[in-house]
Amino acid sequence: MKIVTICGAGIGSSGILKVNAERALADLGLDADVVAADVASVRDVAADAQVILTSEEFVEAIGRTYAEVILIRNHFDQQEISAAVERALG
């Protein structure tokens, strides 16, 4: 199982999403690899991902993918992220 978090540069908000997604997985007792990436490399990094977590401004740049793209409105809202991860993987 693989989750990719996406932002513009691959270190800011995607890093925050990565940490919070890992917390959500631990809380839910689920196992997955979580990778933070920049939007320019999304096609390569997310080729084998089941889930992509991102904000609305990057959805169009992600384009067509087999992964489920989930919009996160508040990168610091652990409940929002946990609910999204549980819906996608649970």
Task: For residue 42, count other CB atoms closer than 10 A to its CB.
Answer: 23
Looking at per-residue confidence, does 7 or 85 come out higher? 85
Report the chain's mean pLDDT, rounded to a whole number: 88
Helices (H), the chain: 13-28, 42-45, 59-62, 78-89
- The fourth-level CATH superfamily of domain 2-89 is Response regulator (3.40.50.2300)
CA distance 71 to 58: 9
What length is written for the chain?
A: 90
- Report yes or no: 35 and 2 within 8 Å, Cβ to Cβ: yes
pLDDT of res. 1: 87
Average pLDDT, stretch 13-40?
91
Question: What is the pTM for the complete model shown?
Answer: 0.89
> pLDDT tens digit string along 78-88?
899 999 988 88
pLDDT of res. 88: 86
